[in-house]
Structure 1
Amino acid sequence: MSSGERPSLLSHDTLGAPTLAGSLRENGVASFSVDGALEQNGQNGNYAKYWTDARDFGSVGEQSDDDGSALLDDNDSIEDYDEMELDPDTLVANSRKTMDPSLRPGTDPLMSQSVTPNDRPSGHLRDRKKRNSIQIRLEKTDRKGRYILTADDPEIREILRKGVERERVEASGKKPRLRFRDLVFTRQFTTFDRRSQASSESPFFGFFTLFWLAMALLIAQSCLKNWREYGSVLGSNQIMKMMFSHDVYVLGLTDGAMTLGMFVTYFIQVFVKKGWVNWGRGGWILQNIWQTGYLAGLVGWAYFREWPWTHTIFAVLHGLVFLMKQHSFAFYNGYLSGVYRRKALLEVKLKQLQDMEPNHSAPTSPRASQQMDQFATGIDLSELAKKTSEHTMAKRRPSMHRNSTNLTNETSDVASVAAAIQSGSPITPDQLQTFERIMHAEIDDLTQELKGKNSCGSNAYPSNLRLRNFAEYICLPTLVYELEYPRQERINWWYVAEKLCATFGVLCIMQVISQAFIYPAVAKTLRMKEAGMTIEERWQEFPYIVSDMLFPLLIEQLLTWYLIWECILNVLAELTYFADRGFYGDWWNSVTWDQYARDWNRPVHNFLLRHVYHSSISSFHLSKLAATFVTFLLSALVHEMCMALMFRKVRGYLFSMQLMQMPLVMASRSKYLRDQVILGNVVFWLGLFIGPSFLTSLYLVI
């Protein structure tokens, strides 16, 4: 910001500086200082140009006047400017060149969609020639260190207004309602993938190497011990015998039956598309009945077959994956079926509107004039026309009723137009043009919704309901259905071979650890029960069992995570050309349990976020806190169901522990703990270290 002539001051005083640099924060505080970047970079020329090229001028505080003026406040760290002789007319030079597009006039900062020249009325502000400076006024107030920035120029006033609106939205924490499909998939690698920049440039890659060397040495040590005691490197090998000696073929047939059962969901959506089933009235009920039967059949079959825990957990977890895939496919396409029906309805209404003959003659009486301006339905056509001018239509937000076909109970511009058409009252040519503009804008929005993220539109609803499309979705490593995903061009078969080798290698390590360190502790608890020991006697052994399984279960947990989210999912992604490998985040750096829940299993987190958390808010009008509780509750119930099937009894230990995460999350966000990053990470790792061993011992001993 450059000013007029200033009094001669000492060189170290900021008032003598040719340029004052500062930032405007959300609370409206402006901190000014000498622009040191100018001196360091030797910029002795146009200081205002350097400053505006380096920062945006569009971030303003929330306090503003109606005429677009913004109040600049100070804080204790800035110097006193009350003695400065200000030229009231100050120029912000070159402020147009690097301005954030979301703050330019004619752009909605919430929708981030610019208005093209063709959409503007003639004489629009942006159609005029650009200037290299905008005149503003900087006035002193009665408070020390407080100034008022005003501008007579309509462009800068529009910038200030939009900046204030944006900051107010950000400060309130309220975001615009997201579309059903607003879940972003992008091309990326997993963190531990050797092709990932994060992996190749990580300063901790040596620890990754050390971990696998330690695993190799652990296997060698176990093999030597087994050879000495059993004469075989595999030892007694009870784990392997348990896995492959009972119902292996039945398990494979069960998995095939679960896969074929998914196509029931596909055919339900085909019936919805053909109009045989209305999703909004009975389709979603039919889908939920099928999902309930699918889950009940899976649980009952796994329970009464009396499989070993390895078979049970594989069948149940794979069945839950299929269940979530079906739910996402059904409810997204069910939503799109409503959008499709609404679009068809509006196209019919538009055709009726275009067939209407406008009244070109002026009304002959005040009563007739009033009839033409406002129908008996209460529609104010003059206000509706004002709301739907070209300028406001360019910034309009999409309708909140994207899948509604009951226009009589709807409050929207489209419903008003439909009521106007239904009334049959005469309309003028201007009103006809306004109505057509409203209908076209809504139909275009619905068309875009049906396309989703499909760039070419070839897979838009209902064209996506193809058998091949659904079969491909079954194989994709995602639980959230989209019309199109980012895809890669070819399969790297060497990469597939590498990940397959890693998969079998990790399985071997897990088998060795289970046989050498976990099986003896489990066998000990079974012998105690067979010997008829009381709970009190078994409880005395509880601390030792927990201690014996601390390290083995931690390693098994880490290896299980690596096996599924790094090896198996990457193989599936490579074979299906799936380019979004964001299967997890850096959960090992978690400082709260909600951060861990978000990052360690992104596919499930995305499913819960869309179909449980957001659906609870939109469908049942729950608060964010209540929706969070419902999400945690559902997750806890599913985990406890898995434990009940594995141990064949319901105890609720894991269920209780998971629900305890909510108060822990709230405590971690308190003012005493929210900045304690190291402490939070220590608490997280203690829970992950002790929790599995403690819970497993509880289920085994009691």
Structure 2
Amino acid sequence: MVETSGASRRPPLESQDTLDQVKLTGTLGNDGVASLHPEHGSNGHALPPAEGATSDTRDFGGKRSKSEGSIQIRLEKTDRKGRYILTADDPEIREILRKGIEREELEAANKKPRIRFRDLVFTRQFTTFDRQNPASSESPFFGFFTLFWIAMALLLFQVSMKNFREYGSILGRNQIMKMMLSHDVYVLGLTDGAMCVGTSVTFFLQKLVQWRVLNWGRGAWVVQNVWQTVYLASVVGWAYFREWPWTHTIFAVLHGLVFLMKQHSYAFYNGYLSGVYRRKLLLENKLKQLQTMEPIHSGPSSPRDSRQMDAFSSGLDVAELSKKASEAINNSDLKRRPSIGNRTSTNLAVEQSDVATIASAIHAGTAITPDQMSTFEQVINTELEDLNRELAGKSVSGAHAYPKNLRLLNFAEFICLPTLVYELEYPRQEKINWWYVLEKLTATFGVLCIMMVISQAFIYPPIAKTLRMKEAGVSVAERWQEFPWIVSDLLFPLLIEQLLTWYLIWECILNVLAELTLFADRGFYGDWWNSVTWDQYARDWNRPVHNFLLRHVYHSSISAFHLSKHTATFYTFLLSALVHEMCMAIMFKKVRGYLFTAQLLQMPLVMMSRHKFLRSRAVLGNVIFWFGLFVGPSFLTSLYLVI
């Protein structure tokens, strides 16, 4: 695709105009669409934007060299802005384009595959609304952000004055505050501490795996999953047993889910690395055995030793092995060879790889020549280097490479970090800005006050009304008549509460944690407010959970259970829907499945949004997204309240 940014500043070129360029660079797709980036020539023109009819064509001249004439290249407009179909009559140009396409196809075929666990990149970045982010103050919508908080402050002032006039207190009757602070506050704090300490079970399980008391690939992962089930059931069961109000219950369950996801990520990443480490130790032992072997020194005409390696009978091509080992040494970024085998495999007797064949020859005591010994050492060392890189992960210095990372302090630090995906190292900042911490803490309590006032003034009355109707024995049919009015009453307050809750957690609380732990990657969310599809919203509004699901549900289900991408996507949505419905069941003390159904309906909505009618209409897609986000919470909440 031809880039057209800033095209409005370029002088237009009429049809049949020529563009004198020394060099045209870019790519050409298989569909014949060009992506060209001309270097400015003497006339200073660049490619024009492609607008208007598709039949219009333009000829551009480009110089072969100083001594040769120009080459005519024709760009025909397509129905998409900024895209051209490129044709050239010159046979040399056609040959260059053909080779370019073949080269791009070859590069695509040899593209490095996604590694199972190290598929996420952590970088230094700020959240969108953070004042430390230069883009925040430079945004053209900066004034609307300021207006929103002025409106929230005025709303808080208005409601507070109304409450003071009617009840003598700015918080009114203050039922929500009394509910939150009058019941088991200390027990809730102790429960949260117990949940945090309970995560250490996962750490000690990994120490048993490291000490080879347990084998991750032979049952330790089952033990981990059983523990996670017990952990979650204990949290939910304790919340029900204490008969907490919904505020206490939802806090305990959500925080328990956070601890659960952290344990899962820590266990399964380190469990994977334990398999890599076992393979490394096995190959190091094979290398030592190889180095103790005495090679034979037979001349070209002397008969071979009866035990000497037969390249044809063993299936081992020594020349090919030597070539691949040399390539791997000279190119550390070389795509992983399929003959290497699984990184966690320790059963070389059944493995189909060059390393396994070499191990078999070493075990059999096959006589080998000095050249063969040198080649075998190269192959094993190449494999060991690859395993060492995997064990080091993102630990640049290697100080936290597996198993050095299995320390209680490292685990406790991960539990405190504002991320759900475990890595050996993260980008860190140098020091804590305590003024910044104070700013975010002040914002946290300020947002909580606004949420409290809005809940008390606008959300509590309709909810209390539905509860009184149920207590009075009003039939479902009569309550259903009130349903539209309850939805209407909850529309705006729930939308505001939803926005404030998101801002409270992902902008305030997570930034406080990040600052206190020196965590430099603040990419906790994307510009979800610009979403045109529901899958875009799912990716951007909660990046920590999305990254967890991407690594440990989507990719893991594909690699472990060999599911297709569509099936893996379905199971990811299904798990997310089940967790959301569990939270609603805990909050309302009943299972109805409304939110579960709404979550699964996102999948057909995503498919519809990819239709060509909606794909090219970003504004319409954004309107549909905001309408759903506006109406959905009040509609679902009213369903749970009324029925």
Normalising by structure 1, what TM-score? 0.80
SS at match of 1:276: coil
Distance of 1:541 and 1:515 partners within structure 2: 21
Deviations 1:142-183 (A, max 9, x none): x9837355999xxx99988644412567xxxx8613241231
- Gaps (5+ residues) in structure 1? 1-10, 43-50, 55-74, 93-142
After TM superposition, the structure 1 = structure 2 runs for residues 145-544 of structure 1, keeping only pairs within 5 Å, are 145=89, 147-148=91-92, 162-167=103-108, 176-362=113-299, 372-374=309-311, 376-390=313-327, 394=331, 395-397=334-336, 399=340, 401-544=342-485
- Aligned-pair identity (%): 68
- Gaps (5+ residues) in structure 2? 1-13, 48-53, 71-86
SS at match of 1:372: coil
Q: CA RMSD in A?
A: 3.2
**Structure 1 letter corresponding to 2:356:** A
Distance 1:23 1:272, change over 3 A: closer
- Pairwise CA distance, 1:86: 9.5
Aligned to 1:699: 640
Distance of 1:612 and 1:563 partners within structure 2: 27
Deviations 1:290-336 (A, max 9, x none): 00100111111112221100000000000000000000011111111
- Pairwise CA distance, 1:29: 3.6
Aligned to 2:592: 651
Distance of 1:162 and 1:21 partners within structure 2: 18
Distance of 1:442 and 1:375 partners within structure 2: 23
Distance of 2:37 and 2:213 partners within structure 1: 72
1:373, 1:380 within 8 Å by CA — same for their partners in 2?
no
- Pairwise CA distance, 1:228: 1.8
After TM superposition, the structure 1 = structure 2 runs for residues 110-121 of structure 1, keeping only pairs within 5 Å, are none
Distance of 1:347 and 1:634 partners within structure 2: 41
2:217, 2:275 within 8 Å by CA — same for their partners in 1?
yes
Distance of 2:506 and 2:328 partners within structure 1: 49
Aligned to 1:104: none
Distance of 1:393 and 1:16 partners within structure 2: 43
Distance of 1:321 and 1:629 partners within structure 2: 22
- Pairwise CA distance, 1:676: 1.1
After TM superposition, the structure 1 = structure 2 runs for residues 538-687 of structure 1, keeping only pairs within 5 Å, are 538-687=479-628
**Structure 2 letter corresponding to 1:480:** V
2:574, 2:600 within 8 Å by CA — same for their partners in 1?
yes
Distance of 2:32 and 2:64 partners within structure 1: 19
Aligned to 1:110: none
1:373, 1:381 within 8 Å by CA — same for their partners in 2?
no
Deviations 1:442-480 (A, max 9, x none): 101111111111111111111111111111111111101
Distance 1:39 1:701, change over 3 A: same
Distance of 1:32 and 1:350 partners within structure 2: 50
Distance 1:513 1:456, change over 3 A: same
Distance of 1:34 and 1:324 partners within structure 2: 46
Distance of 2:520 and 2:122 partners within structure 1: 9
**Structure 2 letter corresponding to 1:217:** L
**Structure 1 letter corresponding to 2:445:** F
2:167, 2:173 within 8 Å by CA — same for their partners in 1?
yes
**Structure 1 letter corresponding to 2:336:** R
Distance of 2:23 and 2:142 partners within structure 1: 45
Distance of 2:597 and 2:15 partners within structure 1: 64
Distance of 1:353 and 1:318 partners within structure 2: 53
**Structure 2 letter corresponding to 1:488:** Q
- Pairwise CA distance, 1:224: 1.4
Distance of 1:592 and 1:279 partners within structure 2: 39
**Structure 2 letter corresponding to 1:467:** L
- Pairwise CA distance, 1:652: 0.3
- Pairwise CA distance, 1:509: 0.3
**Structure 2 letter corresponding to 1:604:** V
Distance 1:197 1:34, change over 3 A: closer
Distance of 1:77 and 1:19 partners within structure 2: 25
Distance 1:438 1:519, change over 3 A: same
SS at match of 1:38: coil
Q: 2:43 aligns with which of 18, 40, 44?
A: 40
Distance 1:77 1:179, change over 3 A: farther
SS at match of 2:271: helix
Distance of 2:510 and 2:314 partners within structure 1: 57
- Pairwise CA distance, 1:229: 1.4
- Pairwise CA distance, 1:362: 3.6
Distance 1:28 1:539, change over 3 A: closer
SS at match of 2:287: helix
Deviations 1:412-434 (A, max 9, x none): 22112212212322222222111
- Pairwise CA distance, 1:372: 3.1
2:118, 2:393 within 8 Å by CA — same for their partners in 1?
yes
- Pairwise CA distance, 1:80: 7.2
Distance 1:539 1:14, change over 3 A: closer
Distance of 2:197 and 2:574 partners within structure 1: 30
2:296, 2:369 within 8 Å by CA — same for their partners in 1?
yes
1:23, 1:30 within 8 Å by CA — same for their partners in 2?
no
Deviations 1:529-559 (A, max 9, x none): 1111111111010000000000000000000
Distance of 2:622 and 2:536 partners within structure 1: 11
Distance of 1:337 and 1:280 partners within structure 2: 9
SS at match of 1:409: coil
SS at match of 2:349: helix
SS at match of 2:309: helix
1:19, 1:34 within 8 Å by CA — same for their partners in 2?
no
Per mean C-alpha deviation after superposition, the further-off stretch among 645-654 and 23-32 is: 23-32
- Pairwise CA distance, 1:39: 2.3
- Pairwise CA distance, 1:90: 7.7
1:33, 1:78 within 8 Å by CA — same for their partners in 2?
no
- Pairwise CA distance, 1:366: 8.2
- Pairwise CA distance, 1:368: 6.3
Distance of 2:521 and 2:35 partners within structure 1: 44
SS at match of 1:24: strand
Normalising by structure 2, what TM-score? 0.87
Distance of 2:578 and 2:35 partners within structure 1: 55
Deviations 1:85-132 (A, max 9, x none): 999x9899xxxxxxxxxxxxxxxxxxxxxxxxxxxxxxxxxxxxxxxx
Per mean C-alpha deviation after superposition, the further-off stretch among 212-221 and 384-393 is: 384-393
Distance of 1:604 and 1:557 partners within structure 2: 17
Distance of 2:593 and 2:108 partners within structure 1: 46
Count, aligned residues = 603
